[in-house]
């Protein structure tokens, strides 16, 4: 049985859900911009694709929010500056990409919140993401607004004026190797697709603020056991645990089991390994308390 509708007969949120769940997987533009004071902004957009190579044209759309019809900082910045950088997302960076999508207040630099390196661009003011497999400096040729209600699109038509491609994604013949690029794409809801392997899920960050990489202790950022995904999961929590919570955890059975079995560097390694398992089982809060209690 086919279900048929006119879009106007459905709530916008339902139209949005059906379209995004079926027009998928969509590539992700990780767009960096600056505001009129030069403050840096970064956010991901999966209403995105390439439309030409002579001149090279990329189009993406920061839409009006379905929920409350507000507009996005990326659109506001581009309307003022008419430039941006579109960075490409790979699997390794996915946790940090999702962290950068939180609805931070105006002026918050998501490179810093998500622990990414700001590399100066050559032709535009916005920096690019050094870790991204490709970074496209763009000037904006046109912006097409399709409406003024929640869910309306704002198509940003970008001309690429400088291309930066990490040489690790090329094979020996100089062709791009899709396994080395390791692209990810957005599906509906919290579903994503890793081009090489298939579907996986990542929840959206909650709230307008979080710990961020900038609020995370250095020993966690530099842990050789934790990767960008692991740190992002903890950095997305609303705040660091209190010293009472940390001290209390030291006397709990799971902490005592580690303390009784290991000491010195071995205790640190075992604690970070255990934290990694907790994060991957969906318990970043407990992992963070554990690390602060006995992982230093
Ligand atoms: C993978 C992913 C793709 C997204 N795609 C879009 C999109 O195409 N259009 C949009 O308006 N918002 C999209 N969002 C939500 C924005 O990233 C989010 O609203 C962000 O806070 C906007 O930031 P800004 O206000 O700094 O521009 C996406 C979020 C994620 C995680």
Handedness of CA 214, 220, 222, 224 (dihedral sign): negative
Count of CA atoms in the C-beta half-sphere (13 A) of 129: 31
Q: pLDDT at position 296, please?
A: 87
Q: pLDDT at position 115, please?
A: 98
Q: pLDDT at position 121, please?
A: 98
Buried b (16+ CB within 10 A) or exposed e, 146-158: eeeebbbebbbbb
Q: What are phi and psi of 64, to 5 degrees?
A: -70, 135
Whether residue 226 sits in one domain with residue 168:
no
Which two three-digit tokens encode residue 91? 């699997």
Strands 83-88 and 29-34: what pairing? antiparallel
Q: Which atom of ligand 1 is nearest to the CA of 103?
A: 21
Q: How many domains does the chain have?
A: 2
In this prediction the pTM is: 0.96
| Mean pLDDT value across the chain | 96
Whether residue 134 sits in one domain with residue 30:
yes
Residue 255: pLDDT band (50, 70, 90) is confident
- Segment 195-203 shows an average pLDDT of 93
Whether residue 86 sits in one domain with residue 227:
no
The answer to whether residue 38 scores a pLDDT higher than 90 is yes
β-sheet bridge partners, residue 158:
58, 140
Q: Which atom of ligand 1 is nearest to the CA of 47?
A: 8
Q: Which atom of ligand 1 is nearest to the CA of 75?
A: 27
Q: Which atom of ligand 1 is nearest to the CA of 74?
A: 27
Q: How far is the CA of 101 from the centre of ligand 1 (A)?
A: 6
Which strand (E) or helix (H) includes residue 260? helix 253-261
The DSSP annotation for 51-116 comes to: EEETTEEEEE--PPPTTT----HHHHHHHHH-EEEEEEPBGGGHHHHHHTTS-PPTT--HHHHTT-
Whether residue 93 sits in one domain with residue 15:
yes
Residue 208 in domain: no
Are 126 and 40 spatial neighbours (Cβ–Cβ below 8 Å)?
yes
Whether residue 94 sits in one domain with residue 17:
yes
Residue nearest to atom 26 of ligand 1 (CA): 73
What's the pLDDT tens digit per position in 50-66? 999 999 999 999 999 99
Q: Cα separation of 29 and 149, whole Å?
A: 23
What percent of the chain lies above the pLDDT cut of 90?
94
Q: How far is the CA of 241 from the centre of ligand 1 (A)?
A: 28
Residue 2 in domain: no
Whether residue 149 sits in one domain with residue 54:
yes
The answer to whether residue 108 scores a pLDDT higher than 90 is yes
Which one of 179, 201, 223 terminates a domain? 201
What's the pLDDT tens digit per position in 126-150? 999 999 999 999 999 999 999 999 9
Residue nearest to atom 6 of ligand 1 (CA): 45
Residue 17 in domain: yes
**Which CATH number is 104's domain given?**
2.30.110.10
Whether residue 240 sits in one domain with residue 197:
no
Give residues (CB < 6 A) around ligand 1: 28, 41, 43-47, 61-63, 72-74, 98, 101, 103, 186
What domain range includes position 156?
7-201
What's the pLDDT tens digit per position in 154-175? 999 999 999 999 999 999 999 9
Whether residue 193 sits in one domain with residue 278:
no
Which one of 176, 201, 226 terminates a domain? 201
What's the pLDDT tens digit per position in 214-242? 999 999 999 999 999 999 999 999 999 99
The answer to whether residue 196 scores a pLDDT higher than 90 is no
Whether residue 180 sits in one domain with residue 228:
no
Q: What does DSSP assign to residue 8?
A: G
Residue 217 in domain: yes
Residue 1 in domain: no
Neighbour tally for 139: CB within 10 Å: 15
Which one of 201, 227, 245 terminates a domain? 201
Residue 206 in domain: no
Whether residue 127 sits in one domain with residue 38:
yes
Residue nearest to atom 9 of ligand 1 (CA): 62
β-sheet bridge partners, residue 136:
86, 163
Whether residue 225 sits in one domain with residue 174:
no
Whether residue 165 sits in one domain with residue 18:
yes
């Amino acid at each position: 049985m086919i279900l048929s509708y006119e879009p106007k007969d459905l709530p916008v949120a339902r139209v949005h859900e059906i379209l995004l769940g079926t027009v998928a997987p969509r590539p992700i533009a990780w767009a960096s911009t600056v505001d009129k004071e030069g403050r840096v902004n970064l956010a991901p957009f999966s209403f995105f694709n390439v439309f030409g190579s002579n001149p090279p044209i990329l189009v993406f759309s920061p839409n009006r929010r379905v929920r409350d019809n507000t507009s996005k900082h990326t659109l506001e910045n581009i309307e003022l500056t008419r430039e941006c950088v579109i960075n490409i997302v790979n699997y390794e960076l996915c946790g940090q990409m999702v962290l950068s999508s939180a609805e931070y207040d105006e002026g918050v630099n998501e490179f810093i919140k998500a622990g990414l390196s700001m590399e100066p661009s050559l032709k535009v003011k916005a920096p690019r993401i050094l870790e991204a497999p490709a970074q496209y400096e763009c000037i904006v040729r046109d912006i097409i607004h399709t409406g003024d209600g929640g869910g309306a699109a704002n198509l940003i038509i970008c001309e690429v004026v400088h291309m930066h491609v990490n040489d690790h994604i090329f094979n020996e013949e100089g062709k791009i190797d899709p396994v080395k690029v390791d692209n990810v794409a957005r599906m509906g809801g919290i579903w994503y697709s890793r081009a090489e392997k298939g579907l996986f899920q990542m929840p959206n960050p909650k709230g307008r603020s979080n710990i961020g990489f900038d609020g995370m202790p250095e020993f966690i950022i530099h842990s050789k056991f934790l990767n960008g995904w692991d740190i992002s999961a903890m950095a997305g929590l609303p705040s660091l645990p209190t010293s009472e919570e940390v001290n209390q955890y030291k006397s709990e059975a799971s902490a005592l089991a580690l303390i009784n079995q290991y000491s010195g560097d071995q205790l640190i390694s075992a604690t970070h390994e255990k934290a990694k398992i907790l994060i991957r089982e969906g318990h970043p809060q407990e992992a963070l308390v554990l690390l602060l209690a006995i992982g230093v």
